[in-house]
Structure 1
């Protein structure tokens, strides 16, 4: 049985592909009434808690698994498969959604039901995180708080990225989403996995497609990853070291020969919210180890 959290984190990674044309510069307007707010997108919930505005929240979507207090909020469904009934069940006064939430038909129904909603742009980069914080601050009319949080997160990210500034040889990392039936689903560009690998000072081993696709053994061998990166999860989606390193493609890569795999919690690794600088540090240290010196 796959746990609810495993399903949510798997969906988080699979859905986390940058939407072309996301506009970081677009300003949001303060909601007329955000006293009963539903946030859709785990990073938005994290930002709202980090701003100290969690008292407004009356609902979250299934990707919001941090902080632990967020789990006490009603779950209105998965961000890309919302139902109007689920959202309306908590009687919201406003709906704040991350780019890619939907389906559009559900959001249209909510809009016709006089539930104001605004969309926060998603971007898997340092700048993208700051843009999300700014947008949330605008929507909740707490721009001073948002600027303070943005400055703090900006400084933290710069310090985390500096860890790998002097690394001589960049490691190649293959992010594997799943290995069901031995088929490797891996990340290309334009994804949260690609973004966090870059922030940690490494290179994505796969650059010839966007999003997530199944790789042939030959493609894995040719990619020559130094490190395998995976979400740390259980249930049917878990992959043992034995299954990973005996895979015929992975076994012939530097990562397979050196048994080099890094497993990190999915929401922490791929969330692109206030905790991302810490995730960058953890990933960089796991990839480079002693090569980071005293940093």
Structure 2
């Protein structure tokens, strides 16, 4: 056979392999571990939950996700816990860790997809597109992203209208362990949702979550205290909270203005955030000043 003939035959065999699967192409991941409540919510919203074989402890919505094997807390993962369910892909929110665990996972010949965490409408839609691309569901993800974006813009506009020219100052308290207030500052999920709900974060002097002195809280003078609705340090009774020396002098304490919401709904920044904006806005402005 001539060189041309051999080339022609080879091309035909290659095309046949591509068409009929005798040559392996990149396989679609079928065994996925999701790390991060919003990542898991997005996978369910895209209708791809049948591919999930594990989730982290923050992935508590929808309720069906709780039936999946729990591979640990997002920020305290162990390689053994994650790899025990034999995933072929791990989709993890930014901040998952610790770093040494991520090093092991990324070297375990398992696809690892990091998902950036940006606390804004654009950040949420970018999450959706990244997760969708990882799943090979780009078209569905784009449709979901556009719907979520529309819902978010509408919720934000309504919230701003309700707030008007007198937005509330809100102090988000992560915990009160040992009588110390751990509050949410700038560039945090708490800061993002407070602003999107038509209010002002009372604390912008630091980033993330840090303890505050009694004097700093008094100076911040929040109109409302915002907390997650769960047990432990977050379950302090309202009377005890408002009687704390750091809280008692504030307008929030004087008017008994405390709002509690489900943590994942409030701070998850996923497909349900538009409803979180509306719920928080209604709670903040349900009573006249």
> TM class, shorter-chain normalised?
0.7 to 0.9
User: Contact 1:33/1:94 (CA < 8 Å) preserved in 2?
Assistant: no
Distance 1:103 1:165 in 2: 38
Shift of 1:236: 5.1
How far does the alpha carbon of each residue in 1:131-183 deviate from its partner, in whole angstroms, 9 at most, with x for none?
A: 00010111111011001111111111111111223312011000001112221
Q: Does 1:288 align with 2:276?
A: no
Give the TM-score taking structure 1 as reference length: 0.86
User: Contact 1:79/1:101 (CA < 8 Å) preserved in 2?
Assistant: yes
SS in 1 for 2:286: helix
SS in 2 for 1:39: strand
1:262 equivalent in structure 2: 259
| Cα distance change on mapping 1:209 and 1:235 into 2, 3 Å | closer
2:43 equivalent in structure 1: 48
Structure with larger RCO (C-alpha < 8 A, sep 6+): 1
Q: Does 1:158 align with 2:153?
A: yes
User: Contact 1:175/1:193 (CA < 8 Å) preserved in 2?
Assistant: yes
User: Contact 2:182/2:212 (CA < 8 Å) preserved in 1?
Assistant: yes
2:87 equivalent in structure 1: 92
Identify which of 180, 185, 189 aligns with 1:183: 180
Shift of 1:290: 5.4
Give the TM-score taking structure 2 as reference length: 0.87
SS in 2 for 1:163: helix
Distance 1:139 1:233 in 2: 33
Segments of 4+ in structure 1 off by > 6 A? none
| Cα distance change on mapping 1:83 and 1:33 into 2, 3 Å | farther
Distance 2:118 2:232 in 1: 30
Residues 1-295 of structure 1 aligned to structure 2 (within 5 Å): 32-166=27-161, 167-235=164-232, 237-289=234-286
How far does the alpha carbon of each residue in 1:1-37 deviate from its partner, in whole angstroms, 9 at most, with x for none?
A: xxxxxxxxxxxxxxxxxxxxxxxxxxxxxx8431000
* Two-structure CA RMSD over aligned residues (Å): 1.5
Residue ranges of structure 2 left out of the alignment (5+ in a row): 1-25
User: Contact 2:159/2:277 (CA < 8 Å) preserved in 1?
Assistant: no
User: Contact 2:90/2:112 (CA < 8 Å) preserved in 1?
Assistant: yes
Residue ranges of structure 1 left out of the alignment (5+ in a row): 1-30
User: Contact 1:33/1:93 (CA < 8 Å) preserved in 2?
Assistant: no
SS in 1 for 2:159: coil
User: Contact 1:268/1:275 (CA < 8 Å) preserved in 2?
Assistant: yes
